Structure 1
Amino acid sequence: MRKLNDAFATLYNGDNIVKLTELRYIPRWIVILIDISIILLSILLSYIFLEKLHVKVNFPEYIVQQRILVIAVNVVFMFVFKTYAGIIRHSTFFDFFKIILSSGSTLITLLGINFATEIWLGKSLFLYPNLFLYFFISVSIMFFFRMFTKQFFNILIDFKGSTSKVRIAVVGVGDASISLARAILHNPNYPYRLEGFLTKRSDSHKALLLGHKIYNIDKFFGDKNLVSQFDAVLIIKEIMTKQELEEWMTCALDNGLKVLKAPTVSKMRDSDLVGGIRQLQIEDLLNRKPIKIENEDIKKRHFQKSVLVTGGAGSIGSEIVRQVAQFNPSLIVVLDQAESPLYELELELLEKFPDQKFKFVLADISNSYRLEKIFEIYQFSMVYHAAAYKHVPLIEENPHEAIFVNVLGTKNLALLSKKYKVNRFVMVSTDKAVNPTNVMGASKRTAELFVQSLQNSDSNITKFITTRFGNVLGSNGSVIPHFRKQIEKGGPVTITHPDIIRYFMTIPEACELVLQAGTMGSGGEIYVFDMGEPVKILDLARRMIKLSGFTPDVDIKIKFIGLRPGEKLYEELLSNNATTIPTHHEKIMISRDPNIGFNEIEILCKQIIKSAVKRDKIQVVTLLKAIVPEFISNNSEFEALDKKNDSLDVIEL
């Protein structure tokens, strides 16, 4: 009622447009009064129409009582079908259907009364044409009133703040696109104004949809004056293929329009539409089709089991924790040596999974004594080993640190998993371990070899599994957040080489495949994931600049800085000597890589760990090249070691 009073007050004061659009709904009693007024008007019109035709009514002496009866019957059915309950400005076909039911029931009831009076009094109380005429007039006026009110508010909403709103064209004319457009039209507080629809169809250019034009994509983008009337295109990503998404994005950006994306209406129910609409990100273009995960198998491996996740505060580790928590394990131990990220994750998980039992452990995986106590206390069923040093240039400068974490840490965890009879040990590796050109990749390949060797070692019952994949979108230190920061600062965007390419995968997708691979095989396998098509980093940078509303090499410069130490132009998922074997999961394959016996790799690992303790960079890398013969340094100080013609004799230190 207060809102209505405010609206009338502002009408009187003259500032009516803004306040009227803020009026959420008219009180129900006012809607009832309006509908009763429409009933009275319909009765009068029907009688006037008959009088003009010189038709005499039955029982003219009871004309007032007849009208009261019609009103009473109609009001009763208005309450039965609650025709007053809907918000008029949001009227739909369902509201019209309720009016039909109410008026139709009134007509049937009055026809019944007519039939009864014919039997008892010899003639009908109402003229039959009068009843049908009243029915059509009342239904028409009630429907017109609601549609007029709805359209009136739409006009006011469009007019309100029109200069400050983003003028958008919704892509598509399907149900999802129309529902999205309706949601924007009916909400005056949204910072968007619907201006039309875009489609590839050529048969809709003369039609109107929700009162707005439908434009063909070719004619629209071919008319610069028309394009200038819009600020952005709005797409629903879920209903488009990757190719369609890229096509629409390219057309919009090339014509100076922003590209916004919105969730489907079903997802809008869970979150506010304004929060759901956002600018299209490069991650949206790199995403692939959702992965089909066999949740039942994964659940059996984790339900009421004790699980350890190392590197649990990192990008991959934390997502593994989140996904494992959905399967109700008895305990999840999250282990990491990064204090602040671990604490932040603890706060997040305790809020998100209040019923799940967690243990957050601050520890270094190179400390075997610390780890053993943890294994002894918690008796793990599953171990996910995601802890690792991964930044190529830093590790190239500090190779001994890679040995402590990537080699010694992995060795400690794998041996303890065997000793305490862990059911499955799943190691997260990298495509940089394949034909490595840097210390980081070679250290991860060494870790792979050690883990594989344990599978057939004496008295082992643990299944040792390795998963190998490429770059993940949004992970700590990945290229996309780095480019985004450079663009925000005005550039330049730095790229190491114009021809460099990389594979990309989302963090949830990578972790889902890690969990899936952890349920497969008999142990000793290296699982490689389908990473899709490689992405040229130069193309990636240009798209990100365009999506940010800038022109590459004009607003934001692109600068080539040369390959970093240890970096190569392209990554591989398989070594030269490897073959792949398909699995029952279309995105997971088994790589058959050469391996080393446990005794041999154990001796080599002891040697390289001793060299790392001495901080002898040359000896560490020399031993890495002995363990991983395919390790050929690139753009690194260690290239000199590859030029030696004499064979390397590895002697026990």
Structure 2
Amino acid sequence: MNLITALLSLPRNTKKTILLTHDFLIILFAFWFSIAIRWDFIHEVAKKEYWVLWAITTVVTITCFIRLGLYRAVIRFLGSKVLSTALVGSIISVLILILTAYFLRIDLPRTIPILYFLLLLILLTGSRLSIRAWLQGSDRRHAVPVIIYGAGDSGRQLQEALSQLNEYYPIAFVDDDPKLHRSVIRNIGVFSPQDLQKLIERHDVKKILLAMPSIRVERRKQIIRHLEIYACEVLTIPGMKDLLDGKVSVSSLKKVSVFDLLGRTPVEPMAELMAANIADKVVMVTGAGGSIGAELCRQIMQHRPKKLVMFELSEFNLYSIDKELNEYKQLHGLDIELLPLLGSVQDQARLQAVMQTYEVATIYHAAAYKHVPMVEFNVVEGIRNNVYGTLHCAQAAIAAGVQNFVLISTDKAVRPTNTMGASKRLAELVLQALAAMPNQATCFCMVRFGNVLGSSGSVVPVFEKQILAGGPVTLTHPEITRFFMTIPEAAQLVIQAGAMGKGGDVFVLDMGEPVKIIDLAQQMVHLSGLTLKNENNPKGDIEIKISGLRPGEKLYEELLVGEQVCGTSHSRIMTAQEIFLPWPQLETLLAALDEACNNNDQPTVRHLLLQAPAAFKPKDNICDLVWQQQKMASGQPLNE
């Protein structure tokens, strides 16, 4: 055990005793040294009255220090309050010195109190600051040097918070504001972003802490892209409120996520649209435990429905969202009845019973099988859930007198190359056909959008796990691109689009610009403080491997089938005019498809999907695993 560890492990009372002894010696030195400066030390030390003066001053001074709380402070975390306490204590001490000399009629030149005061203050504060620096220096031998990007309020709050921790110590601020360059904030210099490389090399910095929580999304993305070139992990801090509330800790520092890379400035939701189909109504969400379904439930809760029916097949997912929303309800004192109901959207009787029993007014149909390869391997189940689940839910809604029905669709429904996309386009056709029927009381509409960040099956959590495991990061194709949107934004836009529906509407969300997935993977590697391993850098950390396109996967996603698209009152919601089959024709197609599914007749299923006005152009042969095994067992070729 080294000296510092031994000292820090001492009992608190022992540490206070050491400090009392330390201050006793400082008072002794300050008193006699100030006399030695003014008089001949050897001569004056013989004066007994000076020893009396020193003794009284010392006892009263130490007592004042105790009452002022000077010994309650922890030296390692010494702040300005302790230094001001030392100043007040020194002033009291010199006053005691002067008054004692006056009442005891001791000859005390006027220069001695001044010298004593200066020496006492310097020694009290200087020794404590030196001890603090010594202790913190020992901590820094094991701490990680970091750069704080942002010297504003958040950056200064972060620096203060880190001074209480042993994990990181800041060696510099970096800020875009030229006015702050070459200034010093709490003993740490402020530098230009152009100095980053020099600072990183000089101090062997491995992490950059981004302390700019309030800047615009576009500016944040620019800064993050600039930081990509450095071999440092980039961490971001929580919002300013958490900093002010003292909630900053090492655990609250988090990696810069793809939300920071791909997010965009949110558009304030239109309150009247958010509340139109929800406020004081009975709302039902199918697939309530999924990524989108759960977020829809969270958004719906904020607009005070009378009841929220959460319909879900997975018991665990239903339990999770029900627990979360009940906690939210209690926290905010909401009078909303939450109804967690297990069931399958393929069970029309169950759906109709639920809708009629609770008099559901609005349905958000989010239940679907959405993972492309899984549906390719399980074609019949994918069609049953996505097509007939939507049909049964819609028919139950009509029978129960539901006012509004909103289908959560996907960009993969546009010119699909896989069964999942074709099944979702067929689900859209179902609602379009039902909406076109005469005297239709239920208002059907559908909202089409692309990938959401953080959803189950998204590339983002897959890449994060692969990077954490040391790679490689697997990518299906170097040219693959996708649209991305955050889950909260998607849910808000779905609710607002649903409120605009007049019947049969196909709404398309503005997804922004498509993202090249290989660029995303490279950015995630760089922002983790790692380097890419490739031909140019064979000693890099993480390799990106191309695994080849999966069954049914295509390089580019689209959001529109036709070209007829119009804007709406919301800047990020468009409406499209898409072709569809009238109900009698679609009903015939659905009956034939149902029979083919019952017989597991995969070639007929494929043929009927091609016949439907879904622009289905499959990239692969039939991939259904059961059908393939049956064909192989019978000795028949798979790709007939």
Q: TM-score range by the shorter chain?
A: 0.7 to 0.9
Distance 1:145 1:535, change over 3 A: farther
2:573 counterpart letter in structure 1: I
- Residue of structure 1 equivalent to 2:156: 178
- The Cα shift of 1:431 comes to 0.5
Q: Map 1:412-431; keep pairs closer than 5 Å.
A: 412-431=392-411
Q: Which runs of 5+ in 1 are unaligned?
A: 1-13, 53-63, 105-129, 639-653
- Between 1:431-440 and 1:271-280, the stretch displaced more is 271-280
Aligned partner of 2:543 among 557, 564, 586: 557
2:302 counterpart letter in structure 1: Q
- Residue of structure 2 equivalent to 1:232: 207
Determine if contact 1:395/1:440 at 8 Å carries over to the other structure: yes
- Residue of structure 2 equivalent to 1:56: none
Q: Distance in 2 between matches of 1:516 and 1:280?
A: 30
- Residue of structure 2 equivalent to 1:579: 565
- Residue of structure 1 equivalent to 2:102: none
Determine if contact 1:83/1:98 at 8 Å carries over to the other structure: yes
Distance 1:627 1:426, change over 3 A: same
- Residue of structure 2 equivalent to 1:409: 389
Distance 1:24 1:186, change over 3 A: farther
Distance 1:149 1:25, change over 3 A: farther
- Between 1:278-287 and 1:386-395, the stretch displaced more is 278-287
Q: Distance in 2 between matches of 1:325 and 1:136?
A: 70
Q: Distance in 2 between matches of 1:583 and 1:137?
A: 77
- Residue of structure 2 equivalent to 1:302: 278
Determine if contact 1:170/1:177 at 8 Å carries over to the other structure: yes
Distance 1:184 1:491, change over 3 A: closer
CA RMSD of aligned residues (A): 4.9
Q: How many residues end up aligned between the 2 structures?
A: 601
- Between 1:531-540 and 1:491-500, the stretch displaced more is 491-500
Q: Which runs of 5+ in 2 are unaligned?
A: 40-51, 92-109, 624-640
Q: Distance in 1 between matches of 2:238 and 2:9?
A: 25
1:169 is the counterpart of 2:144 = no
- The Cα shift of 1:288 comes to 2.1
Distance 1:582 1:344, change over 3 A: closer
Q: Distance in 1 between matches of 2:490 and 2:12?
A: 48
- Residue of structure 2 equivalent to 1:590: 575
Determine if contact 2:352/2:399 at 8 Å carries over to the other structure: no
- Residue of structure 2 equivalent to 1:160: 139
Distance 1:613 1:160, change over 3 A: same
- Residue of structure 2 equivalent to 1:278: 254
Q: Distance in 2 between matches of 1:521 and 1:151?
A: 70
2:592 counterpart letter in structure 1: Q
Q: TM-score, normalised by structure 1?
A: 0.75
- The Cα shift of 1:590 comes to 1.9
Determine if contact 2:287/2:368 at 8 Å carries over to the other structure: yes
Q: Distance in 2 between matches of 1:589 and 1:319?
A: 22
Q: Deviations over 1:148-190 (max 9, x none)?
A: 746753552242252x2111011122221111111111334x4
1:522 is the counterpart of 2:498 = no
- The Cα shift of 1:206 comes to 4.0
Determine if contact 2:238/2:248 at 8 Å carries over to the other structure: no
Q: Deviations over 1:90-127 (max 9, x none)?
A: 777789999999999xxxxxxxxxxxxxxxxxxxxxxx
The residue matched to 2:542 in structure 1 has which SS?
coil
Aligned partner of 1:542 among 522, 543, 546: 522
Distance 1:330 1:570, change over 3 A: same
Q: Distance in 2 between matches of 1:349 and 1:544?
A: 32
Q: TM-score, normalised by structure 2?
A: 0.76
Determine if contact 1:566/1:636 at 8 Å carries over to the other structure: no
Distance 1:298 1:252, change over 3 A: closer
Determine if contact 1:496/1:561 at 8 Å carries over to the other structure: yes
Aligned partner of 2:187 among 182, 188, 211: 211
Q: Distance in 1 between matches of 2:377 and 2:152?
A: 56
Q: Distance in 2 between matches of 1:139 and 1:378?
A: 81
- Residue of structure 1 equivalent to 2:357: 377
Percent sequence identity over aligned pairs: 33
Q: Distance in 2 between matches of 1:531 and 1:444?
A: 19
Determine if contact 2:579/2:613 at 8 Å carries over to the other structure: no
- The Cα shift of 1:338 comes to 2.3
Q: Distance in 2 between matches of 1:237 and 1:21?
A: 35
Q: Distance in 2 between matches of 1:328 and 1:629?
A: 38
Aligned partner of 1:264 among 227, 239, 262: 239
1:179 counterpart letter in structure 2: Q
Q: Distance in 2 between matches of 1:422 and 1:146?
A: 75
Q: Distance in 2 between matches of 1:265 and 1:149?
A: 32
1:571 counterpart letter in structure 2: E
Q: Deviations over 1:25-60 (max 9, x none)?
A: 999x99xx99x99xx99xx99x99xx99xxxxxxxx
